[in-house]
Amino acid sequence: MAQVNFSGGKLPTTIRRTLAQVVALALAIACAVALASPSDAAKKRKWNSKSTPLTLKDGDVLKAQGYGKWTIGTTSSGTRSQAWGYLRDRHANGFNVFYRLDTYTNAGYCLSPEYVSCDQVWYPWKHEYSDFDKETWNKEYWSPKFYASTSVSPGGSYARGRMRVGESNRGPDSYSGSKYTKGNPY
């Protein structure tokens, strides 16, 4: 193996500059990786769109519509299942419309009768309403963006959202069908 001998024990200036640039780049990459939170890795998942909203119908009567995005994020309250969405009240009957976020995780309990096994992959965890209130919106045009979030199961590592649009009324609330998002790790 050939040896290189520099006089005075110092590296030439061009080599020192190159090494300094490599070290600076390595430190920048290490800092970016260290500062990246789980929310940076999680994708925002659509739950319907403005052109194809989640729709609540009661018979032939159109009641409510909604669409938005869901993700896992880190907040001051810890790791959260988060939803943002827009609503439209399509039936001016004095009742407000809302969306409901149901968070499902990959950890939970399954109770089954004898001779039946549990092979459940997703377990219901918590739920929340748009703007943390069922009385969210009652206009026939699209709302501003509303927010909802829940915690995630500390025993899990993956979650997804189940989104529904509803109308609060005097009796049991009416709900649309469900839209399940793809999951995200946390």
Check residue 159 and give its pLDDT: 96
AA letter at 47? W
Measured from the Cβ of residue 178, the count of other Cβ atoms closer than 10 Å reads: 14
| Residue indicated by tokens 């938005």 | 68
Nearest Cα residue to 95 out of 27, 174, 35, 32 = 174
Cα dist from 69 to 93, 101, 140, 145, 146, whole Å: 28, 11, 21, 10, 11
With contact defined as beta carbons under 8 Å apart, do 104 and 157 qualify? no
Q: Digits of tens for pLDDT over the chain (186 positions)? A: 455 554 555 556 665 666 555 555 555 555 444 444 444 457 999 999 999 999 999 889 999 999 999 999 999 999 999 999 999 999 988 899 999 999 999 987 766 666 656 667 889 999 999 999 988 999 999 999 999 999 999 999 999 999 999 999 877 888 999 999 999 999
Q: What is the pLDDT of residues 48-66, one digit of tens each?
A: 999 999 999 988 999 999 9
DSSP string for residues in the chain:
------GGG---HHHHHHHHHHHHHHHHHHHHHHH--HHHHSPPEEE--SSS-EEEEETTEEEEEEEEEEEEEEETTEEEEEEEEEEEE-S-SS--EEEEEEEEES-------TT-----S-EEEEEEEGGGSS--B--SSPPPPEEEEEE--TT-SEEEEEEEEEE--SSSPEE---EEPPPEE-
Nearest Cα residue to 82 out of 106, 47, 107 = 47
pTM of the model as a whole = 0.73
AA letter at 31? C
